[in-house]
Amino acid sequence: MYRHTSIFILFFQLGIVSAQVNFTNIISYIAADSLEGREPATKGDTLTQNYLIQFFKNQHLTIKKQSFAFTFNQKTDSATNILAYCDNQQDSTIVITAHYDHLGWGNNKSREIIHKHQIHNGADDNASGVAMLLMLAKYLTSDSNQVKATYNYLFVGYGAHELGLFGSKYFVESEIAQKLKIKVALNFDMVGRLNKTNPILKIGGTIRDTCYNAFFKKYENEKLHFRLADEQLLQSDATFLYEKKIPTFTFTTGIHEDYHRAGDDSHKINYEGLTTIFRFMQAFLNAIAP
């Protein structure tokens, strides 16, 4: 018995270590200088899209690119949402989202005042959310997952968030979204800076729904506390789905001194914290399985 328990603990710990390595690999690619801050309609933007597409293809998901035009400061540009669908022949779908674009070489949304013209890598904003999106896609399509077939899943990487939530708005109004029966929508925006001494994950959205609320309360432990905060939804990609009365949650570890500045780099990410949030999301998804 003791031997079995220790083998189980060993595998569990190996799982945590490998998740942490995956998070590190994903974020170090997406938030590298070579992608130049992932501004819409740039080479870095295309490279990021290709990375997402390849990752989703590796999980055997069906990919669709959703291209659209958006206008900011009287200039019209194009951007793309990347959609990846897992069809389990079920009635309803869980939608999981994160924006992948950022501020390039410091556009209008940069908070740098003196040296604005620097690459803004956006490791927390929002390579961290994209990493969560990809890791959940991997988890929900893996053979060892018991709950994977109880819903269909749609994973969406939003483009053109930073200049005005254009990607999420376009998606919600699109025929694809309108046709789906959405069980719940989960959005991740800046989940990479979990505070080590006061580990709070902020949750906005349908937080007053008692069945979900009870789960959050029950799950809380010394590694993860929750703050249920409506205002977290305001500036997020979850807003438009929420307005359609779809059960919606957006998760964030909150704003910090590097927010929208050139110092938002991958070495400042709390990878252990990301893995803790990932474990919580797995438990959450398991809990809502019928």
Closer residue to Zn ion, CB minimum distance, 120 or 183: 120
And the tokens for 75?
């200039």
Which H or E run contains 93? strand 93-99
Report the residue number, 162 or 258, with the smaller CB distance to Zn ion: 162
- In the complex, the smallest distance separating the C-beta of residue 30 from Zn ion, rounded to whole angstroms, is 14
Residue closer to Zn ion (CB basis): 183 or 202: 202
Q: How far apart are CA 138 and CA 98, in angstroms?
A: 15
C-alpha–C-alpha distance, residues 43 and 33, integer Å: 12
Closer of 162 and 237 to Zn ion (Cβ): 162
> Minimum CB separation from Zn ion for residue 208, in Å?
26
| Residues in 188-247 that interact with Zn ion by CB under 5 A | none
Quick one: tokens of 250?
């957006």
Nearer to Zn ion, 121 or 141 (CB): 121
> Is it true that the peptide bond before 108 is cis, omega within 30 degrees of 0?
no
CB of 254 to Zn ion, least distance (A): 12
Pairing outcome for strands 182-188 and 152-158: unpaired
Range 107-166, binding Zn ion (CB under 5 A): 125, 162
One-letter-per-residue 3-state SS of 144-160: CCCCHHHCEEEEEEECC
Using rule CB under 5 A, residue 264 touches Zn ion: no
Cβ distance 158 to 81 under 8 Å? yes
* Separation CA 104–CA 93 (nearest Å): 33
Q: How far is the CB of 187 from Zn ion (least distance, A)?
A: 13
Work out how close the CB of 126 gets to Zn ion at its nearest, in angstroms, rounded to a whole number. 7
What's the min distance (Å) between Cβ of 72 and Zn ion?
14
Number of chain residues interacting with Zn ion (CB under 5 A): 2
**Residue number with CB closer to Zn ion (93 or 252):** 252
Q: What are the backbone dihedrals phi and psi of residue 185, each rounded to the nearest 5 degrees, phi first?
A: -120, 130
What residues line the site for Zn ion (CB under 5 A)?
A: 125, 162
